[in-house]
Chains A and B, each alone.
Chain A
Amino acid sequence: MTQSTEQAGSIARKNWLLSAPALVVLTLAAAGPLMIMVVYSFLTPGEYGNVTWQFSLNGWRGILLTEDIFEPGTYALADAHLTILLRSLKLSLMTTLITALVGFPTAWFIATKPVKTRILWLFLITIPFWTNLLIRTFAINEVIRNDGILNSLLIWAGAISAPIQILYTDTAVFIGMTYVYLPFMVLPIFAAIDRFDMRLLEAGYDLYASRGQVLRRVILPIVKPGIIAGSILVFIPSIGAYVIPRILGGGKNLMVGNLIDLQFGQGRNWPLGAALGMTLLIIVMIALVFYTRLTNRGAARG
């Protein structure tokens, strides 16, 4: 008995030793700085940026309330921040929804290809997945510009007479995020379908199920875990987007990421920036809790 616990102890020690170098790097450049950020959200902003070491709740309060310049102690709702928070939520939820709607047929299309060509199609969806986000944002920027391909094409086709202003609007950010994050939705859905035995569909039809019934009773339950995983993979980078709204939103249509950036630049309010960063993290955590609940329920049932 004692021998086996000793053995277990030595195995745990060996495993910890093997993991130690990774944990050191991650503590120094991931977990540690995150802890320091929490501390900074409770400090007072310094005059030229950075912080002074004095406890304050102003950073957290500043997320939703602004103090009146003339009457210290009176607060009003920070409309600008609320607008940005709501825009971020709206745009990232819309992106998640549309990528799911379009990603499911795409993943199905790839998964039902014969094995030989399937790898090629999979490769085609993987390339954008790993391609530099900046390059793809830049590419979509060239497409939707006033003198870009989309407007030129529409004018040439006679659909419009003057270019439509898409760039520097919420729509541009939405298009950009959908374009950039779509492969994040397709790949997990593909993985879910790939494990599925297609003969079950034939069985469904043999039992006189209609196409709608097969879709609802056989296909959707198979695809659902993929859609849930894909939604998380799309939602997290969307809600934290920084580069896409910066390039396509043009400084006016900010998202939370850009608001955070502002506090470390012109805003010179590091505690507010840190508190906003924590807020973003809390939103992500809520999404993740939601995700584990959904997947656990699925696992318990199936």
Chain B
Amino acid sequence: MADRSFSASRLPGFSTIATIVFVVLYAPIVTLVIYSFNEGKTVSAWEGFSLRWYQQAWSNDIVQEAALRSLTIATCAMLIATTVATMAALGTTRTGPFRGKSLISAMINQPLMVPDIVTAISLLIFVAAIKVATGYQGLLYLILAHSAFCIPFAYLPIKARLESMDLSLENAAADLYASPWQAFRRVTLPLLAPAIMAGGMLAFVISLDDVVITTFVKSGGQDTLPTYMLGQLRRGTEPDVNAISTVLLALTVVLLSLFFLLTRKRN
């Protein structure tokens, strides 16, 4: 040890712990991905490469419907949450203190503070009452619920970008007789676009991942991919769940890579 060059930031044992952490963090996920290509049914034995579980999942009507429903809900929730979050971010950043500012930020952050299960049962109670009153059983409940808990995730990157943005460009636009709308449309919005896209992606991922709130809000026959998977797990594990997990995992990795590129480039 003595001959190693001295590094002030090196702490004994820390690298070892970190290495173990990364191995432990990834080993289960990697195993799951590998065994989704297993010919056999169990995780204990490797019986050769095969895509049969992907085929089985793909040819299952219930899985297809659930996948389509997940994507529909996530897309709608992303569009709604990102739109309203962008507006709210414009209304709450780069402005002095005004009446009710802390109330607005408390409401936006609420979904981050309240445990999922509590939001879920409060929505169950609320939706049950509306279902009785209106008889409507459709997807709108889920879309509304997802939009709400996606708002803080869309809001945060947009707010961060706005706070670090240079005001002088907008002032220059105003000096050149741009109307406030022109200045927003031609200057602010293009500068903000990467953050809006980043926020949208987080919202999409968060919606796609939700299982607790969806379980409690959905009507009969409205399974999304995660609630379908949770149901399958209860019935004993089927390897097609591995295949679905792997596809979802791949989607998350792709979206996150895009997110990283979008937020890194400007800094």
Residues of A whose CB lies within 8 Å of any CB of B are 8, 11-12, 14-19, 21-23, 25-34, 36-37, 40, 50, 102, 105-106, 108-110, 112, 119, 123-128, 130-136, 138-143, 145, 147-149, 152, 179, 182-183, 198, 201-202, 204-205, 211, 215, 219, 236-237, 239-240, 242-243, 247, 256-257, 260-261, 264, 270, 273-274, 277, 280-281, 284, 288
- Contact partners of B91 in chain A: CB under 8 A: 14-19
Instruction: Evaluate contact between A36 and B126: CB separation under 8 angstroms.
Output: yes
The residue from B19, B113, B212 contacting A243, defined by CB atoms under 8 A apart: B212
Residue pair A18, B249 in contact (C-beta under 8 Å):
no
Complex-state Cα separation, A125 to B208, whole angstroms: 20
Q: How far is the CB of A75 from chain B (nearest CB, A)?
A: 25
The answer to whether the Cβ of B71 comes within 8 Å of any Cβ in the partner chain is no
Q: A25-B84, A25-B148, A34-B119 are in contact. List 8 more A-B contacts (CB 8 A).
A: A8-B96, A25-B80, A140-B28, A201-B9, A237-B115, A242-B212, A247-B230, A281-B118
**A142/B245 contact (C-beta < 8 A), A242-B117, A257-B117 known:** no
Select from chain A the residue with minimum beta-carbon distance to B33.
A139
B13 near A: Cβ within 8 Å? yes
In contact, B43 and A148 (Cβ under 8 angstroms): yes
- Whether A26 lies near B115 (C-beta < 8 A) is no
Interface pair A134/B28, CB less than 8 Å apart: no
Q: Is the CB of A130 within 8 A of B100?
A: no
Show the binding face of B for A, using Cβ within 8 Å.
Answer: 8-15, 17-19, 21-22, 24-29, 31-32, 35, 42-44, 80-81, 83-85, 87-88, 90-92, 95-96, 98-101, 104, 107-108, 110-111, 113-126, 128-129, 144-145, 147-149, 151, 155, 202, 205, 208-209, 211-212, 216, 226, 229-230, 233, 237, 241, 245, 248-249, 252-253, 256-257, 260, 264
* Interface SS of B by simple majority: helix
A88 to B200, CA, bound (A): 34
Instruction: Check A33/B125 contact, CB under 8 A, given A133-B209, A139-B28.
Output: yes
Given contacts A33-B125, A109-B14, A261-B117, contact A22 B31 (CB under 8 A): no
User: A11-B98, A22-B108, A247-B233 are contacts. A29–B25 as well, Cβ < 8 Å?
Assistant: no
Across the interface, A260 reaches (CB within 8 A) one of B121, B123, B257, namely B121
Q: B188 → chain A, closest Cβ, in Å?
A: 13
For B90, list chain A residues within 8 Å (CB).
18
**Could you tell me if B211 and A37 are in contact, using CB atoms closer than 8 angstroms?**
no
Nearest 9 pairs of A and B residues by beta carbon: A240-B115, A18-B91, A109-B18, A29-B148, A139-B28, A33-B122, A33-B126, A12-B98, A22-B84
Q: List 10 A-B contacts (CB under 8 A).
A: A8-B98, A31-B107, A109-B15, A123-B257, A131-B209, A132-B226, A134-B230, A142-B28, A142-B237, A243-B230
A49 CA / B89 CA spacing, docked (Å): 41
Shortest Cβ distance from residue A221 to the other chain B in the assembled complex, whole angstroms: 15
**Nearest chain A CB to B238 CB, angstrom units:** 11
Alpha-carbon gap, A296 to B216, bound state (A):
37
Which residues of chain B are near A204, meaning CB under 8 Å?
8
Choose one: B11, B96, B148; the contact of A30 (CB below 8 Å): B148
Contacts of A257 in B (CB 8 A): 115, 117
* B121 and A273 contacting across the interface, CB-CB below 8 Å: yes
Are A105 and B149 in contact, with the CB atoms below 8 A?
Answer: no
Min CB distance B133 to A, Å, is 13
